[in-house]
Amino acid sequence: MNEELIIGIDRLKNPSLNKSTAFTSEERDKYKLHGLLPTAITTQDTQLKRVLANLHRQESNIARYIFLNSLQSRNERLFFRLVSENIKEMLPIIYTPTVGEACQEFAHIYQQQKGLTLSATNRGQIKEVLQNWPHKDVRIIVVTDGERILGLGDLGANGMGIPIGKLSLYTACAGIHPEYCMPVMLDVGTNNVSLREDPLYLGLTQKRIQGDEYLSLVDEFVQAVQEIFPKALIQFEDFLTPNAYALLEKYRKSILCFNDDIQGTAAMALSGVLASCGITGHAFKDLRLMFLGAGSAATGIGDLIKLALVAEGLTESEAVQRLWFVDENGLICKERDDLMPHNLPYAHEQPMLSFIGAINHFKPHVLIGATGVGGTFNSKVVKAMCKHNEHPVLLSLSNPTSRSECTAQQAYEWSDGNVIFASGSPFPPVTIEGGRRFIPGQGNNVYIFPGVGLGALAGDASIITDEMFLIAAKTLAKQVSKTELLNGTIYPDLDNILDISLLIAEQVATYVFEQGLNRSPQPGDIKKVLQDMMYNTIY
C-alpha cells in the first residue's frame, strides 16, 4: 500500500510512519492529524529527551525493557535513534543481561506480537504462514527454537525475546532497515515442565518434538524461506548444541545462513585474543589457549582460532595442540568415551587431568569460559593463570551476568590487577585495593553479527563462510585503539559500533565478490551500496 495514503489514526498507529508530536503543521493537514495530537509541535530531539527521562524513571531493568518495547511498537524511528545514540546504556536492556529476564517472564509481560511464530502444528503450511508476515522483502531472519536461551536452558516459546532483541541490534548497530528483519520462533514444545504448567505460557504445552519429526519441520521452514524470501539470511540462535551443529552442517554449504552462538561468538572471542597480543606482546601464532566448557560456543571459538592459526602457517595438527578443552567431566582427552562429535578433533593423547591440573600442565596464555555456570573461575583458577603469565587473558563469556565464570571485580582482585579481562555480559568499572581502576571489556557478539550480516546482504552472498568471520575478527581487533590497549581493554568503544559494522560489512562484501559468492552483479562502489542501505532514524 502507498504509505502516503495512510492517514489519521492509522498513521499514528503505524510504528514505522508515526512521528507523534513531531508531525509538522503541513503534515497534520496532509494526513488529517489535527485533533489527534496535542497542539505543540516538537522536534525529535525534544522527544528523545522525553523518552530518555521517562526511561530513567523506571525502577528496574525489566520495567525499562517493557518501556522500550512499547516505544518500539509506537514509534520505531524514535526507538532506534534512542538505542543507537545511547548504545552503551541500551544494550544491557534490549539485550543481555535483561533480555534473559525478559525471556523468563515473556508470557507474563507479553503485550503484542513482534515476530513470527511457527508452531509444530503449522507443519505442511509453513509457506502460507510465512506469507502472513506483513513485509515482503525480508533479508534477515533470526530464528530460535528456545531450547538453550543464553545460559538459561529451555525457555520454549518464551525464547522469542532473543530474535526480537538480536534484530533490533541489526538495525541499531548496522543500520539495517527494520522492515528487512523478521524474528522467528519455532515453537516445537518445551521440556521445561514449569513453563508447561504456567497458565500464562504462550507456547505449545507439550514435550519438544525430536529427531526426524523436529528436523523435517526445521527443513520445511528453511526451504519455505528460500521460496518466499529468497534473499534472506537465516541466523540460527540459541539452539541446543547438538541441534545447532546438525543444522549448521546441514545448511551452511547450500543456504545463506550461520549460527551466531558458534560462529559469531568465535569471531568475537578471536578478536579479543588478537587484540590482547597488543598488550602482552605475544605473537598470536605462539599462543596456547584453554577453554572451560566444550559446547557450541567454546568449540566454535576453537574452530575459528584453529583456522586463524593455520592462516599464520601452523599445520592443522599443530594448531589443535594449542587448543585444550575442559568440560564438566574434565579434560577433553582420548581416554574419554563420553565426547560429542564436535569434541573429537580436540581430544588429546593425554591422561585425564583436573581443571587446575590442566592449567598447570598446559600453561595457557588465554583462558576462555563458556560453561553457562557462574563461579567456575574461582580464585585458585585465576591465581594459577597468574603463576604462568604476567598478564593472563581471561574471557568469561557465559551469559547472563549470574552465569559469568567470574565477575570483573574478582578477576582483577585475584590477579592484583594483572589480568586482561572481558566478559559476555557487561560489568561496571572496578576499583581494587590500592585504588587502581579498570574498565572491563564486553565480548559481545554485537561487534560481529550485524557487520557480517550487512556485508552478506550488500554482497548478495549465496552462503556464509568461516573466512567471513575470520575477516570480521581481524577487522574488529584493529579497531581497538592504542589508548584502549594501554588501559587493558581488548574491545573497542561500543559508541563506534555503527562505523565498526560498516567496516566489517565492507570487508565481508569485498570477500564475497572476490570469491564469486555473489548472486547479483558486483556494484562499482561497495561503500556507497552500504551507505544507501542505512536506515534513517532521523525525522
Applying CB under 6 A, which residues contact ligand NAD?
148, 150-151, 241, 261, 265, 268, 292-298, 326-328, 370-373, 376, 397-399, 403, 424, 443-445
CA atoms within a 13 Å half-sphere pointing along the CA-CB vector of 191: 9
Closest separation between CB of residue 259 and ligand NAD, Å?
A: 10
166 given a catalytic annotation: yes
Minimum CB separation of residue 173 from ligand NAD in Å reads 14
Residue closer to ligand NAD by CB (options 77, 403) is: 403
Of the pair 190, 371, the CB lying nearest ligand NAD is at 371
> Least distance from C-beta 294 to ligand NAD, angstroms?
4
**182 or 270: CB nearest ligand NAD:** 270
Nearer to ligand NAD, 33 or 297 (CB): 297
For 260-273, give the DSSP string.
IIIIIHHHHHHHHH
444 annotated ligand-binding residue: yes
The minimum distance between CB 429 and ligand NAD, in angstroms, equals: 19
- Tell which phi-psi region holds residue 369, choosing left (phi > 0), alpha (psi between -120 and 50) or beta: beta
Write the burial class of residue 67 (CB in 10 Å: 0-12 exposed, 13-18 middle, 19+ buried). Answer: middle
Cβ-closest position to ligand NAD: 295
- Quote the least distance from Cβ 433 to ligand NAD, whole Å: 28
Residue 360 dihedral angles phi and psi, to the nearest 5°: -70, -30
Please name the residues in contact with 479: beta carbons below 8 A apart, sequence gap of 6 or more.
492, 496, 500, 503
Smallest separation, CB 151 to ligand NAD (Å): 3
The answer to whether the annotation marks 81 as part of a ligand binding site is no
Q: For Cα atoms 183, 184, 187, give the angle at the middle one, nearest 5 degrees.
A: 150
Residue 285 vs residues 282, 442, 474, 479, 532: alpha-carbon distances, Å: 8, 24, 14, 20, 39
How many residues would you count in the chain? 539
For ligand NAD, the closer of residues 238 and 506 by Cβ is 238
148 marked among binding-site residues? yes
**Residue 467 C-beta: closest distance to ligand NAD, Å:** 20
Sign of the CA dihedral running 165, 302, 248, 156: negative
Looking at the Cβ atoms of 44 and 241, the one nearer to ligand NAD is 241
Look at the block and give the residue holding cell 519455532.
Answer: 186
- Answer yes or no: is 252 a known binding residue: no
**Percentages of the chain per state (helix, strand, coil), in multiples of 5:** 50, 10, 40
Residue closer to ligand NAD, measured from CB, 17 or 476: 476
CA distance 451 to 499: 9
CB 473, min distance to ligand NAD, A? 13
Rounded distance between C-alpha atoms, residue 202 and residue 196, angstroms: 9
DSSP-derived secondary structure for 3-42: GGG--THHHHT-TTT--GGG--HHHHHHTT-TTSS-S---
Give the nearer residue to ligand NAD in terms of CB position, either 83 or 244: 244
Active-site hit among 19, 31, 65, 95: 95
- Asked if 81 contacts 538 with a C-beta cutoff of 8 angstroms, the reply is yes
- Residue 417, Ramachandran bin (φ over 0: left; ψ between -120 and 50: alpha; else beta): left
Please compute, for residue 69, the number of CA atoms within 13 A of its CA located in the half-sphere on the CB side. 25
C-alpha 191 chain-centroid distance? 24
327's enclosing H/E stretch is: strand 323-327
As measured in angstroms, the least distance from the Cβ of 379 to ligand NAD is: 16
Q: Taking CA 115 as the corner, what is the angle to CA 109 and CA 118, rounded to the nearest 5 degrees? A: 105
Q: Which is nearer to ligand NAD, 299 or 389 (CB)?
A: 299
Cis peptide leading into residue 97 (ω within 30°)? yes
Closest to 232 in 3D by CA, of 241, 221, 245: 221
The single residue of 19, 166, 170, 535 carrying the catalytic annotation is: 166
User: Does the annotation count 334 as an active-site position?
Assistant: no
Annotated binding site for a divalent metal cation: 237-238, 261
Annotated binding site for (S)-malate: 148, 399, 444
- Residues serving a catalytic function are 95, 166
Annotated binding site: 148, 237-238, 261, 399, 444
